[in-house]
Structure 1
Amino acid sequence: MNFLYNIAIQLAKVILKAIAPFNKKIKKGVLGRKATFNILEKVITKTDKTLWFHCASLGEYEQGLPVFEALRSKYCNHKIILSFFSPSGYEIRKNSPVADIVVYLPIDTKKNAKKFLNIVNPELSVFVKYDIWPNFLNTLKKRQLNAILISAVFRKNQIYFKFYGKKFKQALFAFSHIFTQDENSKNLLNNIDYINTTVSGDTRFDRVSNQLKQNNALPYIETFKNNKICIVAGSTWPEGERFLSNFINNNPELDVKYIIAPHNIKKTQILNLKDSLKCETALFSEKENSILKDAKVFIVDTIGILSKIYNYANIAYVGGAIGNTGLHNTLEPAVFGIPIVIGNNYKNFPEAFALIKNGGMFTIANQTEFNKTLFKLITDKTFCFESGKKNALYVKENSGAVIQILNFLRI
């Protein structure tokens, strides 16, 4: 299995280089990984003490952030290296204040793992959720370097629990401790004789709870809302935007404001969305030249402010579950105590099941269901308020993973 894995990794390396000229995202990753060792060698010296945080992409970074921030505060004399596998994480968080150095993780070959750890030599490594690379982890274990996995979720059909998954199973044993999101994941680990586990829950609850402690004021959003009911549609895709535009266009009598924050902010898609709306619409990029209080729709053609915008919502729609792109973060609006509407493709999102069961989240499969659900939430203020309260309570009751992790690390 080791031989086959290493052959597959080398083959993947060749394929990625071949595809790179034709795919911008892959090209960024290939070029970024090529620069990693030069970046590290320029910044890290033999005498530096270091910590290493690794995330697959942006979602895992946000998940691990409350732990990263706590470690940053505790280990203020250490250099912190943050690595990403995906360009979508690196490109957005390459200037993260939680780290001194942000790089792409090199391809998981034995040679790269040895070279990376020769330079970094981390006192502690923190991996988030699932991005498990056997050669890096086995090298960490051989060197007796401390590593933990946080917010982990496992399923019985994964390779770790198959007879042919020995190399991946061994990689798990490189972690001194694994913090799982649920009891099922812990039981699966116990079944392969990995016992250093704690069911701590999902650190995303701590991440979104911290949002309540931030200054979420956005004066231009306040001006736009103008004390009216506000529906915030976050991380939307075209299939959900069609539902939204149809609802808005066919209900002009509703005294409601709408904020739409598309996942894809390419100019063509933003203009298509704006053109589909038959009402006064303002863009974030043009807000200085708009009379925001007169607009009915505000399109957010930028990134990084959605978590603050939810503070102004009375109702939220979260994209990704109408099509097959994957449901986006529903905990961000939930923490503000507002009801949430999503599509019906959410099977890999346990928090969605819980929020639906609690009565704070509602699923829709078509335009008719979307219209009916939104109209109910807009017109029945008591129902809307009580539904939202259930979401806030759910987030509060499931926070606390970070404390358990820090206690284990004796911080």
Structure 2
Amino acid sequence: MYLLYDAILFLAALFLVPYYLLRGATRGKVRRGLGQRLGLFDSAQTQVLRGRKVIWIHAVSVGETRAAIPLIKALRKAYPDYSLLLTNVTETGHDIARKLPELDLCLFFPFDFSFVIRRVLTKIDPRLIVIVETEIWPNLIRFARQRNIPVVLVNGRISDRSFPRYMFGRRLLGPVLRQFNSLGMQTELDAERILAMGALPEQVVVTGNLKFDLHASLPGKDELDQLREDFCIDKQIPVWVAGSTHAGEEQILVDTYKRLIDQGRRLVLVLVPRHPERCKSVAEMLQAKGLPMVMRSVIDQRSELLRSGEILLVDTVGEMLKLYALADIVFVGGSLRNVGGHNILEGCLLKKPVLFGPHMHNFKEISRLVLEAGGGMMVDDAGDLLNALERLLDHPQERGSMGKRGYGLLSRNAGATERTLELLRAAQG
């Protein structure tokens, strides 16, 4: 099976690696980390790991990296003498990880070829491997098992979309799952699904969702004033932050924004595409519509405040919580189009009313809880979005109470970090 897996990976790489490099070149972007993805680390990169025990955490992209933050902080406190290494697949995830002070080293995740994984495990020599959410890499898991390195899945989830695909391949997947030391799942449904995929009952533990354990200090008035000054936003103008947006959503959002401005409302829209490399095409769309905008990367050069009707287009990463902090209303993308949604709890964390579309199948349980708590609103289409924004802009008190209810939801569901930490301790014996 593993020979076949390596052969399939090799054939895929023959097409995907050139495509990956060419796609970056056509967008004017230099792709990073190819050497690291082949397990070629220079001595300077791995110097920080030498002579210390290593915990290797893997989080594929931005969402998984942010979800892992509470656990990373807890690991830093629980294992002060260990080196913490985090790997990512995506460049945006890597950029987020590099800003976390608790980490000793951030690298790109190696290709799961047998020869690459053997090389990486020899160089890193981890005492524990922690995989965030549902990343199943057969060779990594197999060779770690051969070296008696515990491998634990944390914050695991099986989405409605992925479950049928996993079940289709469960005869091959089951033996791989059974090589994990433990599988920490977010919900009972996730636990039932991974058992159906071939995991053993003694491996599976429901630990809850790490996203409920996110922490952020709520800004005081002076700090909020400073944030608005940093982003050139007038203290008296309401701010609508639309985060993690995807193709097809920005048009709906900016058309809705224009309708609000045409009504005579004072408002600034902060638009944050999920993938910063899309900002160029989003900017072209805004220009075609005649909508004034400024890029976040050059806002420091601006001497005047953003006017009502202007758009701040965010082409940087790692500032989402700052942007949500200065928002009056938050919309979370990936939900008006059939993407599956993104983490709406970050808005709740900052006590903001959160709007999102109907396509939240990747965050099904979280969106249900937020709606039940009254911490957010689901909008089905552009008309619903306009009505919700009008209502919240006209009723500041409702915005405040909705934000408080969402924040309370986080407090009531906290605790996944400690349960996950116990799972990791048990895996190490």
Task: Give TM class, smaller chain.
Answer: 0.7 to 0.9
Q: Are positions 1:254 and 2:265 aligned together?
A: yes
CA apart distance, 1:203: 0.7
Gaps of 5+ in 1: none
Q: Are positions 1:112 and 2:112 aligned together?
A: no
Residue 16 of structure 2 is matched in structure 1 by: 16
2:59–2:132 contact (8 Å) kept in structure 1: yes
Pick one of 177, 183, 192 that aligns with 1:178: 183
CA apart distance, 1:181: 0.4
Residue 140 of structure 2 is matched in structure 1 by: 136
Q: What is the rounded CA distance, in whole Å, between the counterparts of 1:46 and 1:240 in structure 2?
A: 47
CA apart distance, 1:123: 1.3
Q: Secondary structure at the match of 2:110?
A: coil
Deviations 1:51-99 (A, max 9, x none): 1111112211111121112212333332332212233322443464333
Q: Are positions 1:329 and 2:343 aligned together?
A: yes
Residue 314 of structure 1 is matched in structure 2 by: 328
Matches within 5 A, 1:293-312: 294-301=307-314, 302-312=316-326
Q: TM-score, normalised by structure 2?
A: 0.83
Equivalent AA in structure 1 for residue 184 of structure 2: F
Deviations 1:6-44 (A, max 9, x none): 321222232233434422289545444136344588527
Deviations 1:213-268 (A, max 9, x none): 68864614156242443322222345333333333333332243433333354345
CA apart distance, 1:136: 0.8
Q: Are positions 1:345 and 2:350 aligned together?
A: no
Deviations 1:79-124 (A, max 9, x none): 3322122333224434643332222222212222222112222111
Q: What is the rounded CA distance, in whole Å, between the counterparts of 2:93 and 2:306 in structure 1?
A: 35
Residue 38 of structure 2 is matched in structure 1 by: 34
Q: What is the rounded CA distance, in whole Å, between the counterparts of 1:348 and 1:375 in structure 2?
A: 28
CA apart distance, 1:201: 1.2
Q: What is the rounded CA distance, in whole Å, between the counterparts of 2:352 and 2:99 in structure 1?
A: 32
Residue 241 of structure 1 is matched in structure 2 by: 250
1:20–1:30 contact (8 Å) kept in structure 2: no
Equivalent AA in structure 1 for residue 190 of structure 2: S
Equivalent AA in structure 1 for residue 122 of structure 2: N
Deviations 1:179-213 (A, max 9, x none): 11000122334454232332121111212xx1136
CA apart distance, 1:317: 1.4
Q: Secondary structure at the match of 1:299?
A: strand
In 2 relative to 1, CA 288–219 (structure 1 residues): closer, same or farther, beyond 3 Å? farther
Matches within 5 A, 1:383-394: 383-394=398-409
Residue 305 of structure 2 is matched in structure 1 by: 292
Residue 85 of structure 1 is matched in structure 2 by: 89
Equivalent AA in structure 1 for residue 86 of structure 2: L
Deviations 1:260-311 (A, max 9, x none): 33335434533643664657x5553234433217555450433322211212
Q: What is the rounded CA distance, in whole Å, between the counterparts of 1:245 and 1:159 in structure 2?
A: 36
2:357–2:378 contact (8 Å) kept in structure 1: yes
Q: TM-score, normalised by structure 1?
A: 0.86
Residue 274 of structure 2 is matched in structure 1 by: 263
1:182–1:201 contact (8 Å) kept in structure 2: yes
Residue 2 of structure 2 is matched in structure 1 by: 2
Q: What is the rounded CA distance, in whole Å, between the counterparts of 1:321 and 1:39 in structure 2?
A: 43
Q: What is the rounded CA distance, in whole Å, between the counterparts of 2:12 and 2:217 in structure 1?
A: 43
Q: What is the rounded CA distance, in whole Å, between the counterparts of 1:40 and 1:278 in structure 2?
A: 47
Equivalent AA in structure 2 for residue 263 of structure 1: R
Residue 363 of structure 1 is matched in structure 2 by: 378
Equivalent AA in structure 1 for residue 181 of structure 2: S
In 2 relative to 1, CA 251–58 (structure 1 residues): closer, same or farther, beyond 3 Å? closer
CA apart distance, 1:401: 0.6
Q: Secondary structure at the match of 1:211?
A: coil
Q: What is the rounded CA distance, in whole Å, between the counterparts of 1:277 and 1:211 in structure 2?
A: 37
Same amino acid, percent of matched pairs:
23
In 2 relative to 1, CA 225–114 (structure 1 residues): closer, same or farther, beyond 3 Å? same
Q: What is the rounded CA distance, in whole Å, between the counterparts of 2:18 and 2:396 in structure 1?
A: 56
CA apart distance, 1:376: 1.5
Residue 406 of structure 1 is matched in structure 2 by: 421
Worse-superposed segment, 2-11 or 213-222: 213-222
Residue 71 of structure 1 is matched in structure 2 by: 75
Q: Are positions 1:59 and 2:63 aligned together?
A: yes
Worse-superposed segment, 106-115 or 95-104: 95-104
Q: Are positions 1:196 and 2:203 aligned together?
A: yes
Q: Secondary structure at the match of 1:251?
A: helix
CA apart distance, 1:389: 2.8
Q: Secondary structure at the match of 2:367?
A: helix
In 2 relative to 1, CA 13–393 (structure 1 residues): closer, same or farther, beyond 3 Å? same
Worse-superposed segment, 339-348 or 185-194: 185-194
1:282–1:295 contact (8 Å) kept in structure 2: no
Equivalent AA in structure 1 for residue 92 of structure 2: S
1:161–1:169 contact (8 Å) kept in structure 2: no
Equivalent AA in structure 1 for residue 186 of structure 2: Q
Equivalent AA in structure 2 for residue 273 of structure 1: L
